[in-house]
Amino acid sequence: MPELPEVETTRRGLAPHVEGRRVAAVVLRRPDLRWPIPPDIAERLPGQRIDAVRRRAKYLLLDTAAGSALLHLGMSGSLRVLPAGAPVRPHDHFDIALAAPGRGGGRVLRFNDPRRFGCLLWQPAGETHPLLRGLGPEPLDDGFGGTAPGGTTFDGDYLFARSRGRRAPVKTFLMDQRTVVGVGNIYAAEALFAAGISPLRAAGKVSRERYRLLADAVRRILGQAIDRGGTTLRDFLAPDGAPGYFVQELSAYGRGGAPCPNCGRPLKQAQVGQRATVWCGHCQR
């Protein structure tokens, strides 16, 4: 469930505690995440100063002079800033301990992920990790500036041009991180609902005008979700432990059978591209 708003919420919560600090130690408790944590990260990171916390797509990057720690929250991951010595709980897979700036105890950046779909990888300075290659444009203006390497801008014209000839459902197209990054199952459902587009429609059959509505909806909804601290369904917490409140504003996601907020008819639910999908058969065409 961490999609772009949850990752951005995490980034913003982390940054003030982490930027400018040096790494005191890395503790790996369970290195077998989505990919094994490279053991040498525990030697590369300590002593480095974290210059910035950035986000690209749903990845977080902790930048140091030597390279960047690359983190993904997977589906159930969260990162918290805790006092050094805070009790370790189940599924706390690794810590990045931060040196105390002056007097007072240090803090620890602690990664918890019950399902272990997240990852911690290393990107050497000056390189782009293979996982970050081929990602589409950022939908918002922050982060990497709304463009992908190559300068594509996310807007309706871009979606229209890229979707020509595609027979896959528009929802699948929208969730493909090569199309645009950061949109997962929750926000795809919400954006399509807001734009009045059926998730089942072939991507190549959606008009330019409706793609403009969709691009606007994606940006608006992601922005609103960030303002609410993301969506907490089960696992997601911001680094200070706060849940996200966007769940109260969901119109479609998770509401199959419930009345459409627009017309009151029951929302439909089906599998689209292996994902639970909810939409209004009346308002979305």
The reply to whether 168 sits near DNA by the rule CB under 7 A is yes
Q: 12 an active-site residue?
A: no
Residue 273: both structure tokens together: 């591209």
User: Nearest Cα to 72, choosing from 33, 30, 27?
Assistant: 33
17 is in an annotated binding site: no
DSSP state of 246: G
Contact with DNA (CB under 7 A) among 177, 216, 245, 262? 177
The residue (of 44 and 129) whose beta carbon lies closer to DNA is 129
Choose, from 58, 107, 110, 255, the residue flagged as catalytic: 58
DSSP state of 276: E
The residue (of 146 and 254) whose beta carbon lies closer to DNA is 254
Q: 2 an active-site residue?
A: yes
The reply to whether 172 sits near DNA by the rule CB under 7 A is yes
The HSE-up count of residue 234 (CA atoms within 13 Å, CB side) is 8
Give the sign of the dihedral formed by CA 201, CA 204, CA 205, CA 208.
positive
Is residue 132 within 8 A of residue 57, CB to CB? The reply is yes
The residue (of 79 and 186) whose beta carbon lies closer to DNA is 186
Give the x-and-dash track for 44-63 against DNA (CB under 7 A). -------------xxx----
C-alpha to C-alpha distance for 151 and 52, rounded to whole angstroms: 23
Q: 199 an active-site residue?
A: no
C-alpha to C-alpha distance for 23 and 21, rounded to whole angstroms: 7
The residues that touch DNA, with contacts defined as CB under 7 A, are 1-3, 34, 57-59, 72, 74-76, 90-91, 114-117, 131, 165-169, 172-173, 175, 177, 184-186, 203-204, 234, 253-254, 273-276
Residues annotated as catalytic (active site), given as ranges: 2-3, 58, 275
